[in-house]
Chains A and B, each alone.
Chain A
Amino acid sequence: MKNVEEFKSKLTELNNIAKEKNNRLREEGFEDESLFEKIKSNVYEIFLQMIPVSVKKGNFSEEFLKFLERIPMNWYEALEKAKTSGDFEQEQFENIKIQAKVEIESLFYKVFES
């Protein structure tokens, strides 16, 4: 349970950083990069919500990893679709979502394997 709390706290920290960057970049006129941070923050929030759900299901690690695998499936599909259709904007958005997921995954292993 200690690890879960630590993981949640670090993920919240990542989310807060993304939110703060989102606001700052928007104020400075970096519209698209501000949007990229917003997208990241949305991903962090999705997985923050999956923490109590996974705890409730019993085996936290197993359940959380299932979410980490299942939720981004659509993003990979959307990425391929965007690449095929040459929609570089969508491609960038899907890549950011996937990068954020990878970041969460690394954080997960860092916390739970230490």
Chain B
Amino acid sequence: MKSIDVFKCLSDQSRLNIVHMLLKKPMYVELVANSLGLANSTVSFHLKKLEAAGIVRSYKEQYYTMYALNKDILDLPLSELVVLEKRESKVIDDKEEEYKQKVLKTFFPKETLLQIPKQRKKKNIILEKLASDFEIGKEYTEKEVNEMILKHHEDFCTLRRDFISDKFFTRENSIYKRVK
């Protein structure tokens, strides 16, 4: 959910009217339509838009699909709502970091790489860890690269090749340079 979607969605008088009605209690399409003098299809359209932006949620109650406000969003102060995606992206970053630490703990508990992961995402985390021993932009001979990898794992050939194929390093005339 992005702030821009929330604001875009609310920049329509009909949807503001609907939100105003839903502040009182959850409602179904026909009830909102009758109260606002709009066609059911129009109200349904607006409610779907509000739902897509995360402002309302729907649930079944007997024969009706009820719509209720998503208080998590509407109760946010405007100052928090404007930075909603930053907060969400921080949550994503935190999750990524958590995953990364988990992978490192499994494959790289201390200084030795226990095994090279087969899964690409995990392997990338390991390569990133190995690459951190090298300075970005500095030139290394193949022998130097091998020796530095060897401190962590014996299969330096595979890992050195992976450095190149996954674009952690560039190689020119057997000189390696870390680029990320």
Which A residues are within 8 Å of any B CB, using their own CB? 28-33, 36, 88-89, 92, 95
Contacts and interface: CB of A to CB of B under 8 A. Distances in A.
B12 interface: yes
A88 B45 contact: yes
Contact of A88 (B11, B13, B42, B48): B48
B12 A30 contact: yes
B14 interface: yes
Nearest to A92: B45
Contact of A30 (B13, B41, B45, B49): B13
B41 A92 contact: yes
Contacts of A89: 45, 49
Given A92-B41, A95-B41, A32 B46 contact: yes
A36 B42 contact: yes
A92 B48 CA distance: 11
Given A28-B13, A29-B12, 12 more contacts: A29-B13, A30-B12, A30-B13, A32-B45, A32-B46, A32-B49, A36-B42, A88-B45, A89-B45, A92-B41, A92-B45, A95-B41
A100 B42 CA distance: 15
